[in-house]
A and B are shown apart, each in its own frame.
Chain A
Amino acid sequence: MSSIVASLSYFLDIRFILLCGAGSIAGLFVGAIPGLSVTMATALLVSITYTWPTNDALATVMGIYVVGVFSGALSAILLNIPGAPSSVVTTLDGYPMAKRGEAYKALKYATVYSFVGSLFGLIALALLAKPITSIALKFQPMDYFLLALFGLATVGSLTTQSFSKGLVSAVFGLFFAMIGMDSVLGTPRLTFGINKLNSGINTVPALVGLFGFAEVLSVIFGGNMDAEVNGIVKQVVKIKDILKHFWHSLYYSLLGTLVGALPGAGGPVAAFLAYTQAKSITKNPSRPFGEGAEEGIVASESANNACIGGALIPMLTLAVPGDSVTAIILSVFYIHGLQPGPMFLARSAESFHAILAGGFIGCIFLLILGLLVAPRLSHIIAVPKRILLPIVTLLCVIGAYACNNRMFDVGLMFFFGVLGFLMRTRGYSVAPMTLAIVLGGMMDSNFRRAVSLASSADNKLAALFGRPITMVLLVLTVFSIVTNIPAVKRAWNDRKARRKAK
């Protein structure tokens, strides 16, 4: 609770509020325009905020993050194209409502319940960060390694249909993370004589390429360059009607926060899960689900926005990002010399409060922009992609160049962009690769440290895996890998089907 109180002091900092507001406005457009994503915008922002004071950077990033996740709902409702993957479920009921001439009402529901979800997630972050940190303080190098491995395994299983493909993506990410000077002995690895690779693969060009340039290539490959937009007619929506879903939305927000805290699961999974729950707990929906039920929008928007706070919990306390945006925010931290992890709250309490404050102020901007500006955006978000894509490509080039002021990074960005595009066309998610690039160095150094420490013990296995926390993490990691092996999955499903038949 003290964290929430401490974060309130930022409400008096005009510069902080203005930067958060600028981020929120950017987030509103970026999230709403299909083809631009919050992840891409955050990745581009890393290169711009490189030289900024940390709190300024955090204010802007949080503004983009909170409002960007919400504004994916705008194009989902008005265009039937989700602005962000987490808004896919919103299209199911949002677009039918818009087609019936209730776009304004749908936007109001989306705004209010995105606000509720975001606020819930951030309060959970404020309340849970300390207890989780106190557990994480007991972590040893092997625990960190296993935790990161667990994160990669979970991401691998949740982001693609094939578990093997998720893990292949993570393995290639780890390979890229190994390139450059080894952090323990200072030996250049996998540089193949290219001196510019000695400092390793910079995460910014890799992320901008994987999420920005790859997205541009994918849109061009898809061929659909224009979209049809629904008009908005202003209508009276009673506050009493909107708030009647409040208690259900708290349940969806709880689901969203929990799913967000799982590495890799993120908004789409949370929204889908909440939508399924809404279908089972709502006895008399305003309309059938899938045909314009307000309850569908409430579930989807509460859950996907609550993921924001949820995803930040493991990122700040364990240095394991909950989704691709938090993976990029993690790199913002590293760039600004901050070290997320168990010591983060003790060493960088001010930054933690700044993140909370940025989130809370972002929520207020969400409400203001969602209620006042969003209904007027219908024509702006329908910018033809033939105009949008060249500008996004240009922003990718500037973003990649700005982090180190060298053209080599622009080349790296193109390489990762083409790689990301090829991966997408073959059904590989780039999210595990992103996490692996960010976590690879930490995994390598902690694994070697753990092996070195254990080598002097009599019972090496016990020294490596004998502690209770390590055992729990090992069991979780093995469980998440084994239960996702296709043969095991099939056997489990067959058994379930046989039981049902009996």
Chain B
Amino acid sequence: MDKKEKRSPLRSPSFQDSIFVGLCSAGLLAYSLYHHYFDRNTSEWKTSPYLFPTLIAVFGLLLTVSLIADGLRECRAGGEEKKAGGRKNFVGVLVLIAAALAYYFLLPLIHFIPATLLFLAFLFIYLGERTWWKIVLLTVIATGLIYVLFGIALHVRLP
């Protein structure tokens, strides 16, 4: 007999998403109801600032049901839909986010030009540029060009 591999609902992406959407919607509903009934500034529902968020939350809960249905369908389909595609670089994503956060905190401390030089040089090296003179040249030119173009020519305030 040709049996399809059974999957736990928790392993289905739609089911996982439904948990997240359900929790967010329930939280928004609780928040809206609480503030509507206990805030001093709110009056009737028709003018309440929490009317529309309540509607959004209810709609979110309905979508949770729809996602659960999608998840159950995925489970019934079994393990047949494994995603194709090459190797994914998740570490690269984490490194870029970390570098961006470091840049975010460095900007107010050491100002735009030094922080940008460090940020660009690090990313050029990390993403695979190995020729040192190219790294220096690109970093300096990109930083200088952006500073002149945005900061001086277009009068955009730089961080």
Contacts and interface: CB of A to CB of B under 8 A. Distances in A.
A444 interface: yes
Contacts of B88: 221-223
B93 A421 contact: yes
Contact of B158 (A174, A391, A398): A398
B92 interface: yes
A164 B119 contact: no
Nearest to A52: B154
B41 A185 contact: yes
Contacts of B34: none
Band of interface residues on A: 35 or more
A394 B146 contact: yes
Contacts of A48: 150, 154, 156
Judged by DSSP, the binding face of A is: helix
Given A168-B17, A401-B159, A407-B108, A189 B53 contact: yes
A387 B129 contact: yes
A122 B136 CA distance: 46
Contacts of A398: 146, 150, 156, 158-159
B120 A391 contact: yes
Contact of A164 (B49, B63, B158): B63
A394 B142 contact: yes
Interface string B1-33: 000000000000110010001001100100100
Interface in A128-182: 162, 164-165, 167-168, 171-172, 174-175, 178, 182
A482 to B, nearest CB: 13
A97 interface: no
Contacts of A397: 100, 103-104, 159
Given A164-B67, A220-B92, A448 B46 contact: yes
Interface stretch (A64-72, A256-264, A338-346, A410-418): A410-418
A189 B49 contact: yes
Interface string B79-90: 000000011111
A202 B31 CA distance: 22
A394 B104 CA distance: 11
Contacts of A174: 52, 56
Given A386-B128, A390-B127, A394-B120, A217 B50 contact: no
Contacts of B142: 390-391, 394
Interface residues of B, number: 64
A70 B100 CA distance: 32
Interface in A232-287: none
Contacts of B24: 172, 175
Given A168-B17, A387-B124, A393 B100 contact: yes
B63 A167 contact: yes
A402 B156 contact: yes
A421 B56 CA distance: 23
A151 to B, nearest CB: 15
A222 B52 CA distance: 38
A164 B22 CA distance: 13
A221 B96 CA distance: 10
A31 to B, nearest CB: 20
Contacts of A410: 104, 107, 159
Interface in A370-413: 384-387, 389-391, 393-395, 397-398, 401-402, 405, 407, 410-411
B157 A185 contact: no
Interface in A404-458: 405, 407, 410-411, 414, 418, 421, 426-427, 443-444, 447-448, 451-452, 455
Judged by DSSP, the binding face of B is: helix
Nearest to A192: B31
A395 B100 CA distance: 12
Nearest to B134: A387
A486 B93 contact: no
Interface string B91-120: 011001100110110011000000010011
A453 to B, nearest CB: 9
A455 B46 contact: yes
A127 interface: no
Given A221-B92, A387-B138, A401-B158, A448 B47 contact: yes
B59 interface: yes
A187 interface: yes
Nearest to A427: B13
A185 B50 CA distance: 11
Contacts of B127: 220, 225, 385-386, 389-390
A187 B66 CA distance: 33
Nearest to B122: A390
A78 interface: no
A171 B101 CA distance: 28
A462 interface: no
A414 B150 CA distance: 21
A390 B97 contact: no
18 contacts: A164-B66, A164-B67, A168-B67, A185-B47, A189-B50, A217-B93, A222-B86, A222-B89, A223-B88, A386-B129, A389-B123, A391-B142, A393-B123, A398-B150, A401-B158, A407-B104, A418-B97, A427-B13
Given A189-B49, A386-B127, A444-B52, 9 more contacts: A164-B67, A168-B63, A187-B42, A222-B86, A223-B87, A223-B92, A398-B156, A402-B157, A452-B47
Interface of A: 47-48, 51, 162, 164-165, 167-168, 171-172, 174-175, 178, 182, 184-185, 187, 189-190, 213, 216-217, 220-225, 384-387, 389-391, 393-395, 397-398, 401-402, 405, 407, 410-411, 414, 418, 421, 426-427, 443-444, 447-448, 451-452, 455, 485-486
Question: Which 6 pairs from chain A and chain B are nearest by CB?
Answer: A390-B123, A182-B49, A386-B127, A164-B66, A444-B52, A220-B92
